[in-house]
A and B are shown apart, each in its own frame.
Chain A
């Protein structure tokens, strides 16, 4: 489990690691923690799996990856884990989740995200994925993103005792 100090650490990290010689010491100063303790806590959060990774978060759009497709499939529930695990192995897949169905209007339960430089490339990759994972038999929809109204990156608002509204990350 995480404690309040972990929460504050995660919150401060939303602004990004400072680009200075001793960044963890600088973060520690803001929390009254030693450099060592910051590093130890981050190491533990990674080991516990609460932090999936610590590192460079690339801005896909700026890197020229302007086509973004959310692909949804209706797969049998008992196969979702197996298929999800398989889909996640492909380098061009960025996310893969199971979510609840909503009856006939939205029967899909498996989601994945594919970022590509253009629509054609994304569709080619999707064809390859469908063929490789044997997904052709399942109904699906492809939802390309159009307009972005709000984007705060992988922003998590962590509420500690003193709840604060954070600025955009």
Chain B
């Protein structure tokens, strides 16, 4: 169960997490609770996987090279092809989506040359063509995620 403290932590600290020596104490003071309560609540949110982490969201394409890739794979081969793709450490997300292009994954690598080598290897190993969809422009200002706690 999420307490009101959990909900405040989830909603209020996606964007403005304190960059001070004692961030959890600062949060506790602004919410009128103890630092111990805040630390315990974050431990619970982590353990129960309501949050992935307290972390950095990096602007895409600033560090290394990355691209979104789509493949059109016959239904009966999808699972095995997806498993091959997932084994590459450069592959980040790997999802099935409802489309003729039904396998979508993100590749991240140190530079473009290595990225192309990995894509060629995946094409060779799976026998399917990889459609490369690198980012050209990012319009999204990441202000975190609006959570609706109702229903």
Contact = CB atoms under 8 A, between A and B. Distances in A.
A and B found bound together: yes
Interface string B82-93: 110110011111
Nearest to B93: A151
A139 to B, nearest CB: 14
A145 B104 CA distance: 9
Interface string A116-159: 01000000000000000000000001111111111111111111
B51 A54 contact: no
Contacts of A91: 146
A52 B145 contact: no
Interface string A3-26: 000010010011111011111110
B136 A98 contact: yes
A84 interface: yes
Interface string B124-151: 0000000111111111111111111001
A146 B98 contact: yes
B147 A63 contact: yes
A146 B97 contact: yes
A43 B94 contact: no
A56 interface: yes
Interface string A78-93: 0011001101100111
Interface in B29-65: 35, 39, 42-43, 45-46, 48-59, 62-64
Query: Which of A17, A39, A50, A58 has the most B CB atoms < 10 Å from its CB?
Result: A58
A43 B1 CA distance: 34
Contact of A63 (B50, B135, B137): B50
Interface residues of A, number: 79
Given A42-B19, A94-B140, A100-B134, A50 B68 contact: no
A111 B60 CA distance: 15
Contacts of A102: 131, 133
Contact of B17 (A54, A80, A141): A54
B116 interface: no
Contacts of A157: 64, 89-90, 108-110
A70 interface: yes
B62 to A, nearest CB: 5
B49 A62 contact: yes
Contacts of B76: none
A20 B46 CA distance: 13
Given A93-B140, A100-B136, A145-B97, A53 B21 contact: no
Given A95-B140, A149-B85, A154-B57, A70 B97 contact: yes
A-B pairs with lowest CB-CB distance, top 3: A16-B53, A84-B139, A159-B110
9 contacts: A56-B9, A57-B51, A62-B50, A99-B133, A141-B99, A145-B95, A156-B64, A157-B90, A165-B89
